[in-house]
Structure 1
Amino acid sequence: MFEAPAPATAGRMLAAQQHAADQFGLRATGCRVWGYRGRTLSSAASPHWLRVICAETGTEGGTLWDGPSSSRALPASVPRPGLFRIRDWITEGYAYRAELYALAPDPIVASRPVLDEDPGLPEAWWKEMSAALDALAGVPPPTDREAVREEYLRRVIPAFTGHQVEAAITWSTAHGDLHYGNVTRGPHILDWEGWGRAPYGYDAATLYLYALLIPEVAAHIRTELAPILDRPEARTGLLTVAAQILQAQDRTDFYAELADPVREYLARL
């Protein structure tokens, strides 16, 4: 999803991946999937999927570190690959966690977070995804996990969208990073490190706004997700995602591409 990190980081993470594969009695194969600045490294380890996360010693733990393991408590109606085993170790000033997953039987929808071509997802896919989002939203928001902080959204929405936030926000449980590189054609939802409390409709808003580069596809997605996005309480979720895109446009290429379509959307909102 991201480019390979600096050589020193890449070498250290590849060594950690090899160590994890040896511990599980597997061999990492196939394409390497890097996380931001090499914080994670994932690849197939047939017949499984192996993910390694790293942090400097003493900074491990917390929301992102424990997200995948804590997501195992979510209902089975939220489709995601099973997490089988976890291994932790510390070496040379770094803490590592290896996670062994079931290998998703279908490919991801897109190789990057946003859509730049029609993925051709059938109506059945959208019905299953909507049902999964309903099931997830029906889980009481966890008290110890915040995908989006209230202080943050109340600050960035007016600053970057020109809109105001409702006095009362409807909160629900969300994946928190539901872009097209984190969903498969199954559909299965991947990468649960950031799940938690978010304004209602946040995940559906991400799927919609991340498709705005192709207006006809975005319009179709907006129709498919109308049962969620048409609810008045989804407005804050939509504004939050729009604000995040505009806030990050100067440092992330795909957000820069989305910025003008998002501004046009906000003008119509």
Structure 2
Amino acid sequence: MNDVRRRAWMEGHLEWAAGEFGVRRTGAPVHTSRLHSVGCRVLDAGQDAWLRVVYADPEWGQGSYLGSNVAANEILGVPKPIVERWREWDDNGRRMRGELSTFVADRSVSAGMAPSTEPHLSDQWIADLNHALHALATHPLPKHGMDPNHLNDGIRAFFGVEVDIADVPWTTAHCDLHWANLTAPHLTILDWETWGKAPVGYDAASLLCATLAYPALADRLRTGLGDFLGPPTAHIAILTAATRYLRFADGGELTELALPIRRLALETIDQL
């Protein structure tokens, strides 16, 4: 279906889910950039909450990602929404899921993965992010997450470098850390749909790649997240993140980041 029809279809399910959850919509629908999910602010027994509807589709990904936001409720010490109620249903063979979560008052830093203007963030915000990533790293390593073979193939294809990512340390990670999934002025990490295991430092490296259009902020991240971006293990994490962003650029997205990310990757390769 085209984008206009998909928007209407998703908003119809959002309206239906509001009735099923017994909540009243108080905000306009907010769609993700690829129209994979839609959400809005609602009142649940007089309290603000967030209602979200998402669908399973082979174009988006394989696996049990529909349940990942609920599974992330077990992660402690990280500022994030909590899914309080959920249910699934089918629409002509397509699996749908509705989730009612705690409401986050602060807005995302950016509407997209990379901000269109330079974010102005306090030193405390960066310190809070560093603390959150450390807390996330202490969560028991899950079985699900990034595929080492896929990552190895990407690094080889883009940079001609042979590495064995399976041999580097792995940790629990958000796996999609960018500026649309972070709020300010108070830090909350949103969208835990793809969290799982990743090479150590991957989240910090992913955010760094999304920030390279703003060198001053990128330097602040290198300092504030130095525990993740400073050790030698960060070299593999940076190449992994760079590969993901360059795949986006190959598809016509985030093309403005392609050149600075290639520069970062080449500098990283020199340090291997």
C-alpha distance in structure 1 between counterparts of 2:100 and 2:29, whole Å: 15
Measured in 2, the distance between the counterparts of 1:163 and 1:226 equals 25
- Name the CA distance, whole Å, in 1 between partners of 2:139 and 2:2: 36
Partner of 2:71: 70
- Residue 36 of structure 1 and its aligned partner are, at CA, apart by 5.5
Deviation string for 1:212-262 (max 9, x for gaps)?
A: 0112221222111112111111221111011111122121422x1110011
CA distance in 1, matches of 2:23, 2:141: 36
Classify the secondary structure of the residue corresponding to 1:134: helix
State the one-letter code of the partner of 1:25: G
**1:52 — aligned with what?**
53
TM score, norm. by length of structure 2: 0.89
- Match of 1:150? 148
- Aligned mates of 2:266, 2:238 — CA distance in 1: 13
Q: Is the 8 A contact 1:86 1:97 kept in 2?
A: yes
CA distance in 2, matches of 1:247, 1:8: 27
SS in structure 2 opposite 1:95? Answer: strand
- Structure 2 residue ranges without an equivalent (≥5): none
Aligned 8 A contact 1:115 1:214 in 2 = no
Give the corresponding residue for 2:266: 267
In structure 1, what is the Cα distance between the partners aligned to 2:205 and 2:187? 17
What amino acid is aligned across from residue 263 of structure 1 in structure 2? R
Structure 1 position 243 matched with structure 2 position 232: no
RMSD (Å) for aligned C-alpha atoms: 2.2
Q: CA deviation at 1:136?
A: 0.7
- The runs of 4+ residues in structure 1 deviating greater than 3 Å are 59-62
Quote the offset at 1:155 in angstroms. 0.7
Deviations 1:46-104 (A, max 9, x none): 411111012369x99933111111111111x0110121100222243332211001111
Identity %: 33
TM-score norm. by structure 1 comes to: 0.90
Contact 2:33 2:112 in 1 (8 A): no
Alpha-carbon displacement from aligned partner over 1:179-230 (angstroms, at most 9, x marks no partner):
1000111201110010001000010001111100112221222111112111
Structure 2 residue 172 is matched with structure 1 residue 173: yes
1:8 aligns with 2:5: yes
Note closer, same or farther for the CA distance 1:122–1:16 as it changes in structure 2 (3 Å cut): same
Local SS of the residue matching 2:84? strand
Q: Deviations over 1:145-183 (max 9, x none)?
A: 11x210011111121133332562110000010110001
The alignment covers a number of residue pairs equal to 261
State the alpha-carbon separation in 2 of the partners of residues 36 and 117 from structure 1: 18
Tell me if structure 1 keeps the 8 A contact 2:26–2:41.
yes
Q: Structure 2: how far apart are the matches of 1:60 and 1:21?
A: 26
Alignment of 1:107-186 (within 5 A): 107-143=107-143, 145-146=144-145, 148-166=146-164, 168-185=167-184, 186=186
C-alpha contact (below 8 Å) 1:63/1:193 kept by paired residues: no
Q: Whole-Å Cα distance in 1 between the matches of residues 200 and 180 of structure 2?
A: 22
* 1:192 and 2:189 correspond: no
User: Quick one: which amino acid aligns to residue 94 of structure 1?
Assistant: R
Preserved CA contact (<8 Å) 1:160 1:247: no
Identify if the C-alpha distance between structure 1 residues 93 and 63 changes in structure 2 by more than 3 Å, giving closer, same or farther. closer
More displaced 10-residue stretch of structure 1: 164-173 or 95-104: 164-173
- Following the alignment from structure 1 to structure 2, what is the Cα–Cα distance between the partners of residues 160 and 213? 21
Change (3 A) 1:33 1:165: farther
C-alpha change, 1:16 and 1:159, in structure 2 (3 Å) is same
Give the conservation status (yes or no) of the 8 Å contact 1:55–1:95. yes
Once the 2 structures are TM-superposed, how far is the Cα of residue 30 of structure 1 from its aligned partner?
2.8
In 1, Cα distance between equivalents of 2:62 and 2:111: 29
Q: 1:9 to 1:74 in 2, by over 3 A?
A: same
1:63 touches 1:194 (CA, 8 Å); kept in 2? no
Distance change (3 Å), C-alpha of 1:266 and 1:94: closer
The DSSP-based 3-state class of the residue aligned with 2:244 is helix
Q: Distance in 1 between matches of 2:83 and 2:112?
A: 23
Q: Is the Cα contact below 8 Å between 2:152 and 2:164 reproduced in 1?
A: no
Whole-Å separation in 2 of the counterparts to 1:252 and 1:103: 33
CA displacement, residues 15-57 of structure 1 (integer Å, 9 cap, x when unaligned): 1100111112223343432235432111212411111012369
Structure 2 equivalent of residue 211 of structure 1: 211
